[in-house]
Amino acid sequence: MFDKDLEYQWHLDLYKKLCGTDLGDATPGGGRNRRVVVRRWPRAPNGAVIRELPPGYTTPSSTHLWGERLLDFFSFSRGTDDRLNHVVSTSSRLSAWMKANGETEYAKDEMIWANTEEPPRLRPAADIMEIINAKDLLIMMGSYAQFLVDNDYFSQPKPAAYPFDYKNYPDPWPLVPFSSNPPTLQSQIPFHLLPETLIVHDPFRLLHARTPRDKDVDWTSVDDVTHKYKLDLTVDSIKENIALERSKIEEITKNATPVTVGISFYRSDERDLGDSNPTSVPGNAYKITVPPPPPPPISVPEAHLFLSPAHTVGSGNHSRVYHAEWDLPRSVFSKPKICNTCLEEAARKIISDMAGSTMDNNSPGSNNFFNGNLDFREAQQIHEDHTHTLEDEKTTSYIEYSGSMDAIHITTVPWYDPASSSPPPCSHFAQSSVCGSLPESPPPTAQVSVVAKLSLRGDNHMKREAANYQRFGMQFSQHWTGYTLATPLQDPTPMGAITPVFYGYYSKEDSSDSDQYFSPILLLEDCGTPIEPDKLDFDDRQECAALVLRLHFHRWTQGSFWPRNILMQLGDHADFPLMKSANDRRFRLIDFGRAKCLMDAQEADYSRSDNLYQKYWDDERFNEKSAIGRVLEFHYPT
């Protein structure tokens, strides 16, 4: 992501580099907004009327219009008469129509530009394990957190191999809750890895969902009080998907086979392979395989949650909200890694040994083989036609060659789990890590910051909200590359997430046996603070409007569209904490206790044989769209 004042100019410069055409300073509006549609797709003089465009690139949370770059959005005329209304679409859709209808010659520059567009990609959050390790290093150095003098503070009977044995944690752990400012968790956790049991540490009796009397509290001055909660997933399809996912992992683990981790090319030329056009490569290719990685966890039996009145987020008519510390096994955050540098060295040795044993060094071509370049790339996709897609975080390279491809199996380079207490198997991991190697082993669990929402007694608002988050799945909380256009807005907006990440809904075990009320707990990603519309620029307001319009596109209404339910976070989720910029604003919708799905209305009408509930849903959607201009305080096209 880029500063708004530079973002559009970056796309203009990229267009000039790729197409050789200078579009100039095309930004209209006197600086009012920067994300605008400035390009127009030319039409053939006698071209056919465009009645419907073929599908183009989309994501699970975008509208039908998605573009990788701002300059992938075009206005165009459906017919050759300029008096016909101009509409907006994307380069992927327009180029597909032009190819199918023979108009490619009339838009050569635009077709070249469209061919350089990359498909949408997920934008994962910054590696939370790296952030945790950097925090652990500061804690080990004694420059962060307050340490518990009494290791028996959390004492309770522990079974064998229990990860939350706080009494036996390595020094300087365990820490006083809320003394270490743990990192905010922004990564998604698959539903099958949501903790099945939640031990809630609540010495200040916040679970009764009453307003706390005193927010200036000292955790060590009170005795710890714990309650056992259980994961309460209410949507049957989610439960079925969890069972299927666990069965799939068990089947893959049982029938594990060697994993392809890379491709090595020996070639005699020096050409750069880092562009998006197919490159013909002379030489030899080798598929690099290794033994399968350690199996991932299929479940998380337990996690711990800490609540404090000193970390209140807010309260409303239905709930109390707190910043909470969530202690989870490190295996939840970690994925096994293998060192590509060590793999490349091992592959080079094996290939050289193979060549030395089968090729006479005095024979023609032997020098070309040994003097050529060895390209080792991580392979995401291998096609049977010997076209190999090599993908990294920023570019995709297409390499075409003919000939056989031998497999090289490497067993000398081990997998490494960053969550383990063992040191890395080589120095390369420490060199590529944010904090290097830790001097000591950290504890088996790690704390992160999340938001815990509690419900007032007798209110089912939060239970409905939790069910809606489950029905959203993971798609609404995913971040994607590129931009989308959510009509009736006329400008593209970034493809950030619509909602916070859902981390589970928990109910107290055996709560019916007690006369006291214990609130259920809804755990969510901390997405910042409510917006103040008068402090947002035009692009920001359009981005906030697009959130609810994208929700409508996917047949949901939000039900409570107010500034208090639109959160702003400073810094991109993919940036490490020290790299986050206060000028980089991100937005998210919250509070879905009143959200409604069109499918539910249609099913209700089917049983009634009328369209009453669908009309109610349409009315609510219309009211939300009409409220956008008033809520966000800007001129909104209708």
pLDDT of residue 394: 42
| 3-class state of residue 402 by DSSP | coil
Is pLDDT above 70 for 519?
yes
Better-scored residue on pLDDT, 404 or 283: 404
Better-scored residue on pLDDT, 281 or 600: 600
Is pLDDT above 50 for 14?
yes
Verdict on whether the full-model pTM lies above 0.75: yes
In sequence order, the 6+-apart residues with CB closer than 8 A to the CB of 261 are 288, 289, 290, 338, 340, 343, 378, 379
pLDDT of residue 61: 96
pLDDT of residue 27: 43
Better-scored residue on pLDDT, 505 or 431: 505
pLDDT of residue 23: 53
Rounded to an integer, what distance in angstroms lies between the CA atom of residue 252 and that of residue 201?
37
Lowest mean pLDDT among 48-62, 169-183, 370-384: 370-384
pLDDT of residue 370: 38
Rounded to an integer, what distance in angstroms lies between the CA atom of residue 57 and that of residue 561?
29
Rounded to an integer, what distance in angstroms lies between the CA atom of residue 444 and that of residue 166?
10
Is pLDDT above 60 for 58?
yes
pLDDT of residue 316: 82
Q: Work out the average pLDDT over 287-297.
A: 90
Give the model's confidence band at 140: pLDDT under 50 very low, under 70 low, under 90 confident, else very high.
confident
Dihedral sign (CA 210, 213, 214, 215)? positive
Contact of 396 with 118, CB cutoff 8 Å: yes
Q: Work out the average pLDDT over 83-92.
A: 82
pLDDT of residue 387: 36
Give the model's confidence band at 376: pLDDT under 50 very low, under 70 low, under 90 confident, else very high.
low
Cα–Cα nearest to 352, from 424, 272, 264:
264
Lowest mean pLDDT among 6-10, 306-310, 328-332: 6-10
In sequence order, the 6+-apart residues with CB closer than 8 A to the CB of 13 are none
Is pLDDT above 80 for 116?
yes
pLDDT of residue 118: 95
Q: Work out the average pLDDT over 482-506.
A: 96
pLDDT of residue 382: 43
Contact of 572 with 612, CB cutoff 8 Å: no
pLDDT of residue 210: 85
Per the listing, tokens 């980089």 go with: 584
Lowest mean pLDDT among 132-136, 181-185, 556-560: 132-136
Q: Where are the alpha helices (DSSP H) in 51-155?
A: 91-101, 108-115, 128-140
pLDDT of residue 388: 37
Q: What is the pLDDT of residues 263-283, one digit of tens each?
A: 776 655 555 544 444 444 445
pLDDT of residue 418: 85
Cα–Cα nearest to 114, from 47, 165, 69:
69
Give the model's confidence band at 369: pLDDT under 50 very low, under 70 low, under 90 confident, else very high.
very low
DSSP string, 585-627: EEEEE---TT-EEHHHHHHHHHHHTS-HHHHHHHHHHHHHHHH
* 319-329 vs 312-315, strand pairing mode: antiparallel
pLDDT of residue 154: 63
Cα-based distances in Å from 80 to 46, 50, 51, 77, 91: 7, 10, 12, 7, 18
Mean pLDDT of all residues in the chain?
Answer: 84
Q: Work out the average pLDDT over 121-129.
A: 95
Give the model's confidence band at 363: pLDDT under 50 very low, under 70 low, under 90 confident, else very high.
very low
Give the model's confidence band at 404: pLDDT under 50 very low, under 70 low, under 90 confident, else very high.
low
Identify the helix (H) or strand (E) that includes residue 406: strand 405-409
Q: What is the pLDDT of residues 311-341, one digit of tens each?
A: 999 888 889 999 999 999 999 998 898 988 8
Is pLDDT above 50 for 391?
no
pLDDT of residue 30: 38
